[in-house]
A = this chain, B = another copy of it.
């Protein structure tokens, strides 16, 4: 039974991996032409909008990337004027990143629109399929957080 279970899971892992890879590729390509921010940058902006100001390290941990990657992303957002960097008040090593008014406006304006493609596809699904995906989203997120 263990063998069967593992064999089945190996197949599931394979399918899940392929599906995730392809869907991500699809989503990354679905950026709106009039939005100059990449899908990753919008992700960071969304985290900041939800959780308030965060240090670069916290952002890196939240997005599961290494600090240098987040430094680069944050710098791009600073250049577009969507976030602000300021020194930490008590720890001179840390940098606090804060979403700007423009950034908040962009998040608000894009919140619905940026998920338009996926939301439209989801709307075409049967309700029970949406329920499956709703539960799966939480599971996928927890998988991404592991180890």
Q: Which residue of B lies closest to A13 (CB)?
A: B115
Determine whether the beta carbon of B20 is less than 8 Å from that of A119: no
Write the A10-53 contact mask toward B (1 if CB under 8 angstroms, else 0): 10111111111111111100000000000110010010000000
Contact B140 A19 (CB under 8 A): yes
Would you give the shortest CB distance from A114 to chain B, in whole angstroms?
8
Chain A interface size range: 35 or more
Q: Which residues of B contact A43 (CB under 8 A)?
A: 18, 21
User: Which of A84-92, A94-102, A121-129 lies on the face that meets chain B?
Assistant: A121-129
Q: CA separation between A62 and B132, bound complex, in Å?
A: 25
Nearest-CB distance from A117 to chain B (Å)? 8
| Contact between B10 and A63, CB atoms less than 8 A apart | no
Contact A9 B39 (CB under 8 A): no
